[in-house]
């Protein structure tokens, strides 16, 4: 993809900024019912953007499992702003920016090492930001960045699937946020046959609506046999959102030299079981590029630009299923509670107002 040419954008903000802003601050971990899990506070508005940073007025956010994990694990008592999906409008740009101007509508997943999007304003590096789809509201756009980036990197950076590739992709966790985008990208940009594993009829209907060729109930005792019947020579690729207890399944249904890409946080997995078929295991972590200052960090900008174009062309759809408002401690508790059930279809978003 061609990188946009320099815009010579001015670092001057388009509007005067208030000295403080509304923010939702996470002080304690544990259960979401803990009163200190989220509090509504006034924090200093971030300084005007410098370097490659954009200062964005946040208009909507979405909640992902990473938000709930970081919140639940917080033990220090110090306050921090979470939130790793947002859509909004650029207020000011740093002197090194080349991709955006004040007034641009943008969407992004952010950087796990910096303050998040659960606030009125946020600083974010332009190289991990995309122009928001023109056909979507900010709320609908906010559902897409983290899951789209994760799905794209999993399929095309880790598994290196090409648009001409055929074969079978097994999607485990098909109705979740990332699984929903994996199905859409695989059916839009490749020639793969997609087998989706679902936990209930609603999840199955969701996966079919997104384009899955086959949907199976993972609780079915004959699930492995059904996968093998559909895959013929064996599954070529597996996207794994839930790896615990599933490696024996992968080892059974995959063809020799097949590949698995996983996004979950399981530590004690029996990878040795994959050796007999010489299967490859990949980890996908969407925050790795920004966290470790990867030389190709701008690839996330390029991916989001492509995602926006596919959405505006009608090839991809937003995965919002629940909408809340406004952005405050109460609605964030509600959204985190939904995500923590691990049975949500698609994404929950919160509009700032």
> Tokens 């064996």 map to which residue?
234
Q: Do 205 and 300 belong together in one domain?
A: no
Whether residue 260 is contained in a domain is answered as yes
The length of the chain is 353
Residues 117 and 177 in one domain: no
Q: Identify which has the larger pLDDT, 265 or 136.
A: 136
Specify the number of domains making up the chain: 2
Q: Is residue 264 within 8 Å of residue 68, measured between CB atoms? A: no
Residue 338 burial (C-beta neighbours within 10 Å; 0-12, 13-18, 19+): middle
- Are 278 and 257 in contact, with CB atoms under 8 Å apart? yes
DSSP E strands in 274-346: the ranges are: 280-283, 320-324
Q: How far apart are CA 205 and CA 158, in angstroms?
A: 28
CA distances from 235 to 155, 158, 245 (A): 15, 17, 18
173: domain CATH number is 3.40.50.720
- Identify the CA nearest to 47 among candidates 78, 8, 83, 21: 21
- If asked whether residues 109 and 210 sit together in one domain, one would say no
Predicted pLDDT of residue 11: 46
Whether residue 288 is contained in a domain is answered as no
Residues 318 and 253 in one domain: no
Mark whether 181 and 88 lie in a shared domain: no
Whether 2 is covered by a domain: the verdict is no
Per-residue pLDDT tens over the stretch 226-282? 999 999 999 999 999 999 999 999 999 999 999 999 999 988 888 899 999 999 999
pLDDT band at residue 5 under the 50/70/90 scheme: very low
Q: In whole angstroms, what is the distance from residue 285 CA to residue 272 CA?
A: 22
Does 170 lie in the same domain as 84?
no
Whether residue 183 is contained in a domain is answered as yes
Q: Looking at the structure, do residues 274 and 320 belong to the same domain, yes or no?
A: no
Instruction: Encode pLDDT of 254-268 as tens digits.
Output: 999 999 999 999 888
From CA 166, how far away is CA 110, in angstroms rounded? 33
64/96 same-domain check: yes
pLDDT per residue as tens digits for the range 139-171: 999 999 999 999 999 999 999 999 999 999 999
Mean pLDDT over the full length of the chain: 93
Domain contains 14: no
| Domain span holding position 321 | 20-144+293-351
Q: Are residues 259 and 323 in the same domain?
A: no
- pLDDT tens digits, residue range 297-319? 999 999 999 999 999 999 999 99
Q: Which of 283, 305, 324 is the last residue of a domain?
A: 283
The pTM score is 0.94
Q: Is residue 8 part of a domain?
A: no
Residue 7 lies in a domain: no
> For the segment 193-224, what is each residue's pLDDT rounded down to a tens digit?
999 999 899 999 999 999 999 999 999 999 99
Q: Are residues 151 and 276 in the same domain?
A: yes
Q: What angle do CA 218, 223, 226 make, to 5 degrees?
A: 135
Q: How far apart are CA 114 and CA 110, in angstroms?
A: 8
| Residue 275: Cβ-neighbour burial (10 angstroms; 0-12, 13-18, 19+) | exposed
How much is the pLDDT for 164? 94
Assign residue 47 the CATH number of its domain: 3.90.180.10
In this structure, are residues 15 and 91 in contact, taking their beta carbons and an 8 Å threshold?
Answer: yes
CA dist., res. 333 & res. 353, Å (int): 16
Does position 7 have pLDDT exceeding 90, yes or no?
Answer: no
Beta strands in 110-188 (DSSP E): 121-125, 129-131, 168-172
Contacts of 335 (CB under 8 A, 6+ apart): 63, 322, 324, 348, 350
Residues 332 and 297 grouped into a single domain: yes
Query: Which of residues 283, 305, 340 is at a domain's end?
Result: 283
Give me the pLDDT at residue 15, please: 58
Strand partners, 130: 107
Same domain for 134 and 259, yes or no, is: no
Locate the DSSP E strands across the chain: 20-25, 39-44, 53-63, 86-93, 105-108, 121-125, 129-131, 168-172, 193-198, 214-217, 235-240, 254-262, 280-283, 320-324, 347-351
112 belongs to a structural domain: yes
User: Which range (87-101, 304-318, 334-348) has the least confidence?
Assistant: 334-348
Look-up: residue for tokens 């001015």? 10
Q: Of 283, 308, 327, which residue constitutes the final position of a domain? A: 283
- Could you write out the DSSP letters of every residue in 200-221? SHHHHHHHHHTT-SEEEETT-T
């Amino acid at each position: 993809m061609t990188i946009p040419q320099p815009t010579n954008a001015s670092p001057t903000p388009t509007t005067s900024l208030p000295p403080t802003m509304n923010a939702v601050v996470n002080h304690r971990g544990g259960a979401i019912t803990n009163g200190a899990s989220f509090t509504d506070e006034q924090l200093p508005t971030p300084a005007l953007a410098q370097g490659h940073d954009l200062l964005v007025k946040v208009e909507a956010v979405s909640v992902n499992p990473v938000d709930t994990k970081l919140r639940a694990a917080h033990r220090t008592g110090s306050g921090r702003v979470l939130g790793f999906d947002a859509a909004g409008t650029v207020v000011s740009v740093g002197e090194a920016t080349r991709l955006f101007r004040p007034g641009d509508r943008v969407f992004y997943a952010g950087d796990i090492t910096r303050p998040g999007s659960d606030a009125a304003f946020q600083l974010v590096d332009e190289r991990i930001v995309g122009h928001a789809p023109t056909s979507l509201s900010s709320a609908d756009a906010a559902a897409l960045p983290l899951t789209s980036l994760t799905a794209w990197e999993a399929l095309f950076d880790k598994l290196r699937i090409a648009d001409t590739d055929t074969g079978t992709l097994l999607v485990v966790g098909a109705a979740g946020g990332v699984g929903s985008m994996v199905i859409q990208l695989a059916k839009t940009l490749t020639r793969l046959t997609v087998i989706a594993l679902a936990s209930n009829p609603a999840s199955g209907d969701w996966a079919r609506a997104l384009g899955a060729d086959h949907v199976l109930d993972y609780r079915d005792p004959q699930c492995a046999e059904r996968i093998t019947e559909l895959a013929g020579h064996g599954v070529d690729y597996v996207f794994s959102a839930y790896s615990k207890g599933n490696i024996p399944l992968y080892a059974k249904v995959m063809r020799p030299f097949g590949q698995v890409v996983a996004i979950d946080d399981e530590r004690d997995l029996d990878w040795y079981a994959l050796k007999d078929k010489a299967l490859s295991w990949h980890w996908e972590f969407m925050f790795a590029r920004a966290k470790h200052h990867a030389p190709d960090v701008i690839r996330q900008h390029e991916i989001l630009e492509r995602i926006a174009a596919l959405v505006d062309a009608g090839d991809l759809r937003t995965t919002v299923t629940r909408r809340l408002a406004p952005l405050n401690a109460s609605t964030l508790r509600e959204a985190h509670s939904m995500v923590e059930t691990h049975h949500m279809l698609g994404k929950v978003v919160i509009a700032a107002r």
